[in-house]
Structure 1
Amino acid sequence: MATLPERIGTLDTIRGVAVLGILLLNIVAFAMPQTAYMNPRAYGGWHGADLAAYLINFVLFDGKMRGLFSFLFGASMLMVIERAELSGQSPARVHFSRMIWLLIFGLIHLWLIWWGDILTLYAMVGMIAWAFRNKDAHSLIGHGILLLCFQWLLMILMPIGMHATELAAARPDATADARHGLEQLQQGFGVPSAQWIAGQLALMRGGYWGILSDRLANNITTPLNSLLFVGAETLAYMLFGMAALKSGFLTGAWERRRYWRWVAVGFGIGVPVYAALGAWMVAQQFSMMSVAIAVMAASVPVRSVMIVGWAALIILALRPGGALTQRLAAAGRMAFSNYLGTSLICTTLFYGYGFGWFGYWSRAQIYGVVLAVWVLILLWSKPWLEHFRYGPLEWLWRSLARRQWQPMRGGALSATQKVATDTQ
């Protein structure tokens, strides 16, 4: 019977880079009021080193690491389905059981730990992606491009609606609803009022029950909102990941010059466009409209090619057997545990029920925390997998999805060699 490899090293390593890279953006959402994620003028500083930190992230990492993670999710999901088929299991049962349990984990993460969860979105979009599992690589890419076109049109409507709201709120006879709508937009993309910022600081520096109550009041519908708002883009990236697996791109099977070509295309297009958008936002002093256009709308067409460029660059940089490569691969193999572990660490550091650092550090300063968490992830992942087959949450997810406790001890390498056809 044909078999698939238990692990593909390039996928694990790229996933490891992605799970580390996501923290470059998420750290702002952990450490500051939500608006600071989009607009540096909202909080955390927007001059000097703080401005440089924002622009470097915007040009090189914002949306790219999340997209890279989505690529890898789609590829891994397809591998699980194919392994299930080859081993005689029901691929539908295996896939949907995994997605349902991922959704449950995501809801726990979203409601009890941190508002910025992405697992619920992946679970829901992953269920939709099932319908594309048998498409060839070209068809997957075609469907992905159509989805990105839809996402782009959706994002273009945002600044148009924003402009209409600004006009309505500026009228002498503006209604309370119009003024409230403008305030909400400012809280998302502009510079919120000092009163709102003070309220956010007091909330997040307070106790767990106050934060939990606010989260349950404001984030119950977040999964559905995320699906409607960025579901098309996320599905597109998953389809691209499936196509990249089927074409041999993600397995490292291409010639090196083909990978270099994609590095040149991805960064050659993406960096100039993002740099121009960043310069325009600076010139506009990060007005609410400029942020909405640059961050949400104008970047959609170029983000995907830059994600592919990142994947190609990582594959080219891999050194099989190298110390850093092994540690990145281990971090990627335990991406679920590391992602949720990062949330537990950062909420403990920044929220009031922990160290209470929320809002006290500038944008540039918080990257010291990022470096510390990176070191921790790289230090613990490989030794853990030398003694256990899976990361702790990977083991729990696998056991619940299979409705049977899975063997844990033995070391990941020995388990990989022993169970070559096992599903993930």
Structure 2
Amino acid sequence: MHTLEQLRSGALAGKRRLDLSCDLIELPEEVFGLADTLEVLNLSGNRLRALPHQLPRLHKLQVLFASDNDFTVLPEVLGDCPALQMVGFKANRIAHVPAAALPPALRWLTLTDNAIGHLPTELGERPALQKLMLAGNQLTALPSSLQAAHKLELLRISANRLEHVPDWLTELPRLAWLALAGNAMDWAWASETALPEVPWHALTLGALLGEGASGHIHHVKAAGWPQPLALKLFKGAVTSDGLPEDELAACLAAGQHPTLTTPVARLTEHPAQAQGLLMPLIPAGYTNLAGPPSLQTCTRDVYPLGFTLTAPMALQIASDVAGAVAHLHARGVMHGDLYAHNILIDPVHGQARLGDLGAATRLPGDHPELCQRLFALEVRAMGCLLEELATHAPASGSHALRALAEVCLRPVPDERPTMAEVARQCQVLLTHLAV
């Protein structure tokens, strides 16, 4: 994080990224001294309510973050910034999004956790739009113009007031990651799996294992359980993926599968009434297959430099993940975030486990055609994963993975296979490799 003193002294001259969180109520004039170099401006965690009309003087600005401020309207001056591609105004009080506020080169828009009830038609007229995060607002509909957003790959519309899924949504050729739980769609769900309950006082809290958008994960020991467990303790606030209670419900609906990280018990009697789930502890040595998308990659994961897989490992990972997702689909659950960064692998043998149901959606059992169309979107996400696995495996052993990826990536969703068929194909390939 930078300081006003550094900015005013000239110590930040030539910077391409500026991070200022110092209780600002207006943008310091000295920021414009970086006009010839500044590409990323992070103003999150201040008290800003407006941006100056001179903002386009930052002619190289590509990324602007202004989360956790006091904006009530998305500033129209953003639309005058020709190079601006990424706009993030999470957790403000925005109720109005003017058409003029949408930059012409808009690629990634985050307006999570605001009070937006309507979006302008012009949103669908931004041809580069690839990532749209709108969870935790008051939307009752999406602009029909978004059916022209043929590059849109990730859409988060959980925790709004949508009453139905528009037909055109399931026809978008590149949409692969969708979260829409917590809306007013009046869906009928299958009954959840009953889980044992473990009271808070029966737990011995261990080390913090990690933190996600929706909660903290701790190593715990539970009285009466022979093996150590991991506790996911929900934060209880809206996240970029949606509401914690929807994640919890999806986890319960998912049930058990050997390559899926799902709960074995639920927490009760927490002193602050926090909700929590107890998961099997992943064996030591497992690691994330990749890191999450970067500002540059937008919707695609980032793999370590020089990362490689053997052909058997790539196929094993593909088979394990496809089997886990096919299981979810059979239980009426769309994962919504099928990414390599949500997959843990044994780097020695290649076994994989899929986790993080934060963006998951339970789908209606009485609308099988809608379920099929929505699941077809997730098959495209599987195609992206297969493509990545093939990229990091030897060319001689990746042809079959690439061929399967191409089928999953077909631009017409109805022409893609089901996830059950993808899982079957992966298993056949794995079997043939072992012969």
Q: TM-score range by the shorter chain?
A: under 0.3
The answer to which structure has the higher strand fraction is 2
TM-score (norm 1): 0.20
- Structure with more relative contact order (C-alpha pairs < 8 Å, separation 6 or more): 1
The answer to which structure has the higher helix fraction is 1
